[in-house]
Amino acid sequence: MYSCRSRSKFSLRAVLALTTVLSGALCFAVSAQADDTAPTQTAAASPASWGNTLKFYGHAEGGVAFNAASPDNNENFGSLFTDKANQPQLNQLMLTAERPIDSSSSNFDIGFKLQGLFGTDARYSHSLAETDHLIHSKYQFDFNEATVNMHLPVAFEGGVDLKVGQFPSPMSAETIDATTNSLYSHSYIFNFGVPMKSTGVLATAHVNSTLDIYGGFDTGVNGGITADGDNNKNIKGQFGFGLNNLLGGDLSLVALSHVGTEDPSNVTPQGAMRYLNDVTATYKANDKLTLTTDVNYIEEDSVGAIGYGVAQYATYALNDNVTLVGRAEIWRDNSGVFVAAYPGYFDAANAQRGLTNTSYTAPRTTYSELTLGVNYKPEVPKAVEGLVIRPELRVDHSLNGTKPFNAGDNNIGTDGTSFTPAVDVVVPF
């Protein structure tokens, strides 16, 4: 374990750059060697060459989150990706180029993943100082992932996987990528209790078939790789463990923590730590029913604030075309500093960088939300196979008598309850 307060002789950006260059050179060498090795007529069928395992794919997601109260400021408080009330929007147009690695291989393997995102979701997924002021619109561009990935058959039974670059956080039960979620709206935990992304190095040691150990360093919560992408220049990191193949393979668990100094350099006092902790357990009860529990605890020492809660998910497949989905959550913002709304195009990015913004919060509140939805996959042409329509009904409520929802032009909430039915469509290609 290393101290998050320490400063190394070389900058983190230099380490990242050097690691990426060396990884790229090694990737080129492996690819060239594969291309120079011609199969013979008498040889058995050889594995696919590195280049033949490349993948190109994408998806589009758009939807609308209604609000029965029609708030004056058009904000669905407590939500980020579905923050705009009664306004249809293109959330994501995501394109991906990938060469996945084989984590089960007994040989060295190297690949990459480059994933770009355009849409309204990019306002909240930005890494600091990277394209976060590029487009003056609610429709923005972001690199969701840009990594070199390696499998190293060393040290442990299953070897070590190494991810170098910029990547979505592995914490929580939800992701930025809409195709891996079961609901359109997101939990309080995902929105306010975990990082969106990291820039750095993350190693996963597959100790055996049951235990994985995670460890790495990065430029902080949603930190970038540019000079302004680390808002205080101190090295941060994440660590944890995963348990697999429990209860005959039906139960798995991932417990991760991210620790470091996260406040911008223009915020005092300096050196205060932020701790983000998350445990996600997934249990496949049977072929139709899957239960997922997400437990979260965060702490911000600079203002003495804590947040904590739990979200319980259930998915039940009625048939190949229809899956029922539910999420019930309670999350406590003990100081009224974590749960916020960001009405401006750049408010979310500016808030993280310590710049002037028009974001607003609510009093200390214990939030609850209940979301019931359906995933409907209609019969469609093969070109858009996997298309899913996801209507949902969501109710948010304050359990301690505050009124954080449905603010007016003065950004002061007027209701203790918010009802936001929504629907989105995800089209893969």
pLDDT of residue 234: 76
pLDDT of residue 59: 98
Find tokens 């911000």 and name the residue: 300
What is the Rg, in whole angstroms, of the alpha carbon atoms belonging to the chain? 22
Q: Which two tokens stand for residue 364?
A: 């200390």
| Diameter over CA atoms, the chain | 78
pLDDT of residue 8: 34
Omega before residue 269 within 30° of 0, cis = yes
Q: Which two tokens stand for residue 218?
A: 């990065």
Rounded to whole angstroms, the Cα distance separating 226 from 22 reads 19
Q: Which two tokens stand for residue 33?
A: 């060697």
Find tokens 């794919």 and name the residue: 57
Q: Is the sign of the CA dihedral 74, 141, 101, 52 positive or negative?
A: positive
Rounded to whole angstroms, the Cα distance separating 175 from 171 reads 9
pTM for the whole structure: 0.87
Distances (CA, A) of 2 to 5, 86, 166, 239, 397: 9, 47, 21, 11, 41
Residues 114-129 as b/e (b if ≥16 CB within 10 A, e otherwise) read bbbbbbbbbbbbbbbb
**How many Cα atoms occupy the beta-carbon half-sphere of 271 within 13 Å?**
4
Domains in the chain (CATH in brackets) are 55-428 (2.40.160.10)
Specify whether the CB–CB gap between 48 and 39 falls below 8 A: no
Rounded to whole angstroms, the Cα distance separating 400 from 92 reads 35
pLDDT of residue 266: 65
Q: What is the pLDDT along the chain (429 residues), one digit of tens a residue?
A: 333 333 333 333 433 333 333 344 333 333 333 344 444 444 444 556 777 899 999 999 999 999 999 999 999 999 999 999 999 999 999 999 999 999 999 999 999 999 999 999 999 999 988 999 999 999 999 999 999 999 999 999 999 999 999 999 999 999 999 999 999 999 999 999 999 999 999 999 999 999 999 999 999 999 888 766 665 667 799 999 999 999 999 999 999 999 998 877 666 666 789 999 999 999 999 999 999 999 999 999 988 999 999 999 999 999 999 999 999 999 999 999 999 999 999 999 999 888 899 999 999 999 999 999 999 999 999 989 999 999 999 999 999 999 999 998 889 999 999 999 999 999 999
Question: Quick one: which of 221, 198, 207, 117 has its CA closest to 160?
Answer: 207
Rounded to whole angstroms, the Cα distance separating 392 from 184 reads 7
pLDDT digits (tens, 9 = 90+) for 317-374: 999 999 999 999 999 999 999 999 999 999 999 998 888 999 999 999 999 999 999 9
Specify whether the CB–CB gap between 353 and 129 falls below 8 A: yes
What φ, ψ does residue 2 adopt, rounded to 5°?
A: -120, 160
- Residue 182 CB neighbour total at 10 angstroms: 23
> With the CA atoms of 258, 262, 268 and 270 taken in that order, what torsion angle do they form, in degrees rounded to the nearest 10?
70
pLDDT of residue 302: 86
pLDDT of residue 229: 60
pLDDT of residue 27: 38
Q: How many residues belong to the chain?
A: 429
CA 330 to chain CA centroid, nearest Å: 20
